[in-house]
């Protein structure tokens, strides 16, 4: 497929399409299974993500092109044809989760170490030696007084 979409650029999927035709419409059932290659949110290396989806599309004939719903499309009677490429792309893209990262220990080690070096640490985070830096205790004791009013709002909401 030559689709100009940002979410999926590469992959290998199998599509099983079952079409039921009547005099006024085509009822299409898609079964999609395969793998797409997308960048890992953590290290930016390409990762394989399995995709699996079952979708339905009803194509009706009418005077002009229209999408009546997510599943119903009207095409002009004189054209009599529809390109399914964009629908397939959407079906696949909708299976991709918001966050996509490698399994633990599979990320690019060089990028992971740079990420750890530049990441903000929580006050409760412990360092590798199991010891906390004295600076952490100082940070925990001092807070910006402007935040105190907002903390009060959260306390009132929970009551």
Q: What is the DSSP string of 107-139?
A: S-HHHHHHHHHHSPPPTTPPPTTS---HHHHHH
- Sequence spans of domains, the chain: 10-93, 109-158
Task: Pick the range with the lowest mean pLDDT from 58-62, 86-90, 123-127.
Answer: 123-127
Determine the pLDDT at residue 3.
Answer: 60
- Note the pTM of the prediction, 2 decimals: 0.63
- Summarised one tens digit per residue, pLDDT across range 100-117 is 888 777 787 777 777 777
The arithmetic mean of pLDDT across residues 147-159, rounded, is: 66
Average pLDDT, the chain: 78
Return the bridge partners of 67, or none: 73
pLDDT surpassing 60 at residue 82? yes
User: How many Å apart are CA 56 and CA 51, to the nearest integer?
Assistant: 16
Burial class (CB in 10 A: 0-12, 13-18, 19+), 28: buried
Share of the chain above pLDDT 90, in %: 20
């Amino acid at each position: 497929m030559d689709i100009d979409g940002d979410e999926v650029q590469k992959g290998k999927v199998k599509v099983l399409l079952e079409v039921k035709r009547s005099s006024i419409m085509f009822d299409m059932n898609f079964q999609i299974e395969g793998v797409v290659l997308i960048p890992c949110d953590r290290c930016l290396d390409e990762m394989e993500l399995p995709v699996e989806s079952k979708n339905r599309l009803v194509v009706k004939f009418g005077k002009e092109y229209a999408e009546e719903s997510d599943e119903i499309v009207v095409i002009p009677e004189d054209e009599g044809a529809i390109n399914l490429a964009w629908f397939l792309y959407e079906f696949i893209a909708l299976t991709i989760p918001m966050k996509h990262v490698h399994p633990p220990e599979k990320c690019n080690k060089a990028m992971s170490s740079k990420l750890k070096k530049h990441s903000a640490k929580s006050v409760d985070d412990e360092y590798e030696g199991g010891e906390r830096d004295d600076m952490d205790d100082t940070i925990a004791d001092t807070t910006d007084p402007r935040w105190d009013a907002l903390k009060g709002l959260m306390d009132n909401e929970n009551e």
